[in-house]
Amino acid sequence: MVPVEALRGPVWDRTALFDFQSRPYIQHEVYFVARLADAQSTAGIAWTETELDTIDDTVWMTRAEARGCADRGVPRAVA
């Protein structure tokens, strides 16, 4: 867990329309950043069966990695 006082932002938000398991959804995302020297990924811990079946990947990135990432899922404002 990241302490609330370590969070900065929101730095970006977006709304996405998509289908998931044959149902339409509207998703609103709000992005915050935290700069931590000792961050550790907790991906997969306490995930539901659906999350385990459908999430392909999660990553922690350094600021330099985020800046150099061409993936449209990484907002420029976060880098």
pLDDT of the residue at 2: 80
- Compute the distance between CA of residue 76 and CA of residue 4 in angstroms, rounded to an integer: 22
Would you call the peptide bond into 10 cis, given omega within 30 degrees of 0 as the criterion? yes
pLDDT of the residue at 79: 61
Could you tell me the CA-to-CA distances from 53 to 6, 11, 47 in Å, in that order?
Answer: 31, 30, 10
Say which residue, 28 or 47, is predicted with more confidence: 28
User: What pTM, to 2 d.p., does this model score?
Assistant: 0.62
Say which residue, 72 or 25, is predicted with more confidence: 25
**Residue 24, beta-bridge partner list:** 19
Instruction: Name the residue among 35, 27, 45 with its Cα closest to residue 8.
Output: 35
Reading the block at residue 30, the tokens are: 């709000």
